[in-house]
Amino acid sequence: MKATVHVMLKTGVLDPQGEAVRHALGALGFDGVNGVRQGKVIELDLAEGTSAADVEAMCERLLANTVIESYRVDMP
């Protein structure tokens, strides 16, 4: 079974990587980009019987820094 975890900085937290990407896109001539938020996607290959609650616990304990990041779990 697969799970996908999307981790993003919370609203209001500065995103220097996103700002660097926005600036680079402008330098390449893509002037229509007003903002960029950069995050990460983590794909987990899980054993049968692993619950959504288990994946939530993984996020809370390791995969996301919940002080500054939010996350979303997608499981079939």
pLDDT at 61 over 90: yes
CATH superfamily of 2-74: Phosphoribosylformylglycinamidine synthase subunit PurS (3.30.1280.10)
The arithmetic mean of pLDDT across residues 69-73, rounded, is 98
- For residue 17, is pLDDT > 90? yes
What is the C-alpha to C-alpha distance for residues 68 and 71, in angstroms, rounded to an integer?
A: 10
pLDDT for 54 equals 98
pTM of the full predicted structure?
A: 0.88
What pairs with residue 17 in β-bridges?
none
What is the tens place of the pLDDT at every residue in 22-32? 999 999 999 99
pLDDT in tens, 38-48: 999 999 999 99
Domain segments of the chain as ranges:
2-74
Measured distance CA(63)–CA(44) in Å, rounded: 11
